[in-house]
Amino acid sequence: DTGVSQDPRHKITKRGQNVTFRCDPISEHNRLYWYRQTLGQGPEFLTYFQNEAQLEKSRLLSDRFSAERPKGSFSTLEIQRTEQGDSAMYLCATRGGGALYNEQFFGPGTRLTVL
């Protein structure tokens, strides 16, 4: 499978615990985006990377959230001290160059449930 992959697909945690999600992009895609989707809503932008540089963070990304893309390939999104309001689907999307310059390819998402 050469698409965007995310791990884990589902995560159940207790309030106050830390969680980390991973996104593996399509090979050579230099832009990587994180979105969050809650029930009945469209995805909301969280942050994005150009290679290893984090270029923009949404106001939705509180200081409990941190994202990294250390080598410009895979990315991680960590949520510290989770709250029930963090329950959502976390989506990763990547974008390459050339003819598909403007298309973002989405992964399957990680569904987080905070109890």
Partner 1 sequence: AQSVSQHNHHVILSEAASLELGCNYSYGGTVNLFWYVQYPGQHLQLLLKYFSGDPLVKGIKGFEAEFIKSKFSFNLRKPSVQWSDTAEYFCAVKNYNQGGKLIFGQGTELSVKP
Which one, 14 or 39, has the nearer CB to partner 1? 39
For the stretch 61-98, what's the b/e string if a residue is b when 16 or more beta carbons lie within 10 angstroms of its beta carbon?
beeebebebeeebbbebebeebeeebbbbbbbbbbbee
The correct pick among 69, 79, 107, 114 for binding partner 1 (CB under 8 A) is: 107
The correct pick among 42, 70, 85, 98 for binding partner 1 (CB under 8 A) is: 42
The correct pick among 62, 83, 103, 115 for binding partner 1 (CB under 8 A) is: 103
Q: Is residue 104 involved in binding partner 1 (CB under 8 A)?
A: yes
Q: Distance between CA atoms of 84 and 21, rounded to whole angstroms?
A: 17
**Contact indicator for 15, 115 with CB cutoff of 8 Å:** yes
Question: Residue 74 is encoded by which pair of tokens?
Answer: 């895979």
Binding to partner 1 (CB under 8 A) within 50-69 occurs at 55-56
Question: Which residues are at the interface with partner 1 (CB under 8 A)?
Answer: 31, 33, 35, 40-45, 48, 55-56, 91, 93, 95, 102-109
